[in-house]
Amino acid sequence: MAVDPQVQALLDMMAAVDTAPLSDATLAPTRESFAMLVAMTAGAGPDVELDGRSIGGPHGEIPLRIYRPRGDVSAPRPIVVFLHGGGWTIGTAEAYDPIAKHIAEGAGAIVVSVDYRLAPEHPFPVPYDECWAALQWVVAHAVELDGDAARVAVMGDSAGGNLSAVLAQRARAEGGPALVLQVLVYPATDFDLDRPSYKENASGYFLERSTMEYFWSCYAGGRVDATDPRLSPLRAADLSGLAPVVVITAELDPLRDEGEAYAEALRGAGVAVEHVRYDGMIHGFFMMPAMIDAGQRALDQTTAALRRAFGTLA
C-alpha cells in the first residue's frame, strides 16, 4: 500500500532537515529533537490533572507522572501503567505528556507514566527493573492514588511495548500483579533485525534499521544474551496465561513483523488478542495524533479497548 499522504508530508518535512546519524556523539541533540517532534505532532493533549512524585527503586529514585481525568468520581478509577517509547534511549515521560493525557481522558483512567532511566547510560536490566518496581508500587499504593488495584493495565509503544510485554510475562510468572490488559503499540519483541519488514522498511520511513541497531546496542549490546525473554519476549518458552492483549502494528515499520509474530504466538497460546495493522503508516504514528489522523484513530482504538477491559465502556 502507498504511504499515507499525511505521513508523506511528515517524511518530506523531516527529509528537509539535515540530521546526523544517531550515535553516542549525537545522542543529546537527538533527545531534544525527539521531544520537539512529539510536541509538534501530538499536540497539547486534553486538560487533565497532573501530579509528579518519585518512588524508591532498585537503582535509585524513579520519577512518575500521574495523570487523572478531571471531574469528581465516587469510585476508584482503573489504572494504566504507561511505559514510553524511544528505543530505551531517547524518549522520556515528559516528552510523552500529550499521549498520557489522551490515554487518561480517553480511558477514564489514572495513568502512571514511568520515567525510567535511559540507555546507554543505564542499559538492561535497569529500565526493566525500574518498570517492574513501578508496576508493583502502583498496585500496592492503588488506594493512595484513588485507583483500583483490581483494574490495572500496562501499555507502551515501541521500547515501551517491549517493556510492557516483559512485565506482563513476569507478572504471570510471579503470580501477580494481575493485569486486565496489555496494550502493545508496534512493540519490539525480538532482537532479530533480519525479518522481511526490516529489509522492506530499512530506510526512508522515520525509524530505520540502522537506528534500531544503535538502540539495541545501547540497551543490550554484547552484555547479555539477546534471546533472553526479558529482552525478546517473543522467545519466551510459554506464553499461555498472559493478560489479554491489544497489538497495534504499522505497515511501513521495521518492527511490523515481530509485533505481528508476537500477536500470532500469543493467540496460539490461547491468549485473547486484538491486532490491527495500520496500512500506509510508519513507526511513531501513534504519538502523532495532531498531524496524522490514523494516530488519533489508534489512540481511540486503544482507549476503547482499555474501557472494555475496565468494564467502563458505555
Mean pLDDT in residue range 276-291:
98
Domain 5-310 has CATH 3.40.50.300: no
What is the reported pLDDT for 221?
80
Q: What is the mean pLDDT of the chain?
A: 96
Alpha carbon distance 62, 72 (integer Å): 29
Q: Where are the beta strands (DSSP E) in the chain?
A: 49-57, 60-68, 77-83, 110-114, 147-157, 181-185, 245-252, 273-282
From residue 176, give the alpha-carbon distance in Å to each of 35, 241, 271, 275: 34, 12, 17, 25
CB 147 within 8 A of CB 177: no
Residue type at 138 in one-letter notation:
V
Q: What is the pTM of this model?
A: 0.97
pLDDT at 237 over 80: yes
CB 296 within 8 A of CB 304: no
Mean pLDDT in residue range 212-239:
93
Residues classed as catalytic: 158, 253, 283
pLDDT at 64 over 80: yes
Alpha carbon distance 152, 139 (integer Å): 8
CB 276 within 8 A of CB 186: no
Domain positions in the chain are 5-310
CB 248 within 8 A of CB 184: yes
Alpha carbon distance 71, 187 (integer Å): 33
What is the reported pLDDT for 314?
61
Alpha carbon distance 280, 181 (integer Å): 27
pLDDT at 73 over 80: no
Q: What SS3 state is found at 236?
A: coil
